[in-house]
Chains A and B, each alone.
Chain A
Amino acid sequence: EDKVVQSPLSLVVHEGDTVTLNCSYEVTNFRSLLWYKQEKKAPTFLFMLTSSGIEKKSGRLSSILDKKELFSILNITATQTGDSAIYLCAVGVLTGANNLFFGTGTRLTVIP
């Protein structure tokens, strides 16, 4: 059975801290791994990873994929209160009815 597991489920940090969010997966016909940020409403796209070992970076956020060990991490440095959100990991597959498998998300709370 295809599955995507995120950890931790929730995290509370102080502004300025660095956090690492984890996503492990077991799927057939892996195509890509995506990270989304969900604040109050729609998930918004952060990164798409398809190759192992190549870091994607956007400002204070970065992510990397390990296709051998089947996991990805999302790092956020110098956290700000605006980073408070649910971070969703999704794995795209090439075949089957469900082409994006989502994890349950990590709820990050950044306190001043």
Chain B
Amino acid sequence: NAGVTQTPKFRVLKTGQSMTLLCAQDMNHEYMYWYRQDPGMGLRLIHYSVGEGTTAKGEVPDGYNVSRLKKQNFLLGLESAAPSQTSVYFCASSYSRTLNTEAFFGQGTRLTVV
């Protein structure tokens, strides 16, 4: 049972480069989320999706785009990476946004922008 899988696990980008982070879940969850974790800041929500074909902005969406073409996948894109986007990125999924269910997290992607 894989749960939530993120790829890649590590990446170093130069300023201005683009990349896509992939999140895949095999639990048939409706809701998926992308968070970033920075020292002293906790986990902050970037974008989320309440179902296939839908996305919405979270707390810190600037500089990122997302897509949810298939229910099991949630992609996070950086069009023009900046050093301020150096962070650890976590994908999560949950069965329902309104029911009392916990979110399951992927292993994280450590991104460094130089």
Contacts and interface: CB of A to CB of B under 8 A. Distances in A.
A44 B90 CA distance: 12
A41 B107 contact: yes
Interface stretch (B13-21, B69-77, B78-86, B95-103): B95-103
B90 A43 contact: yes
B22 interface: no
B27 interface: no
Interface residues of B, number: 26
Nearest to B6: A42
A18 B16 CA distance: 49
Interface string B11-51: 00000000000000000000001010000111111001000
Interface string A26-64: 000001101010000111110010100000000000000
Given A42-B108, A102-B42, A103-B42, A97 B58 contact: yes
B68 to A, nearest CB: 15
A25 to B, nearest CB: 12
A47 B41 CA distance: 22
A100 interface: yes
A80 interface: no
Contacts of B98: 31, 94
A88 B41 CA distance: 12
B114 interface: no
A104 interface: yes
B111 to A, nearest CB: 14
Interface of B: 4, 33, 35, 40-45, 48, 56-59, 90, 97-98, 100-108
Interface of A: 4, 31-32, 34, 36, 41-45, 48, 50, 88, 90, 92, 94, 97-100, 102-105
28 contacts: A4-B42, A31-B98, A34-B102, A36-B105, A41-B107, A42-B4, A42-B90, A42-B105, A42-B106, A42-B107, A42-B108, A43-B105, A48-B100, A48-B101, A48-B102, A92-B100, A94-B98, A97-B45, A97-B48, A97-B56, A97-B57, A97-B58, A98-B45, A99-B45, A99-B48, A102-B35, A104-B40, A105-B42
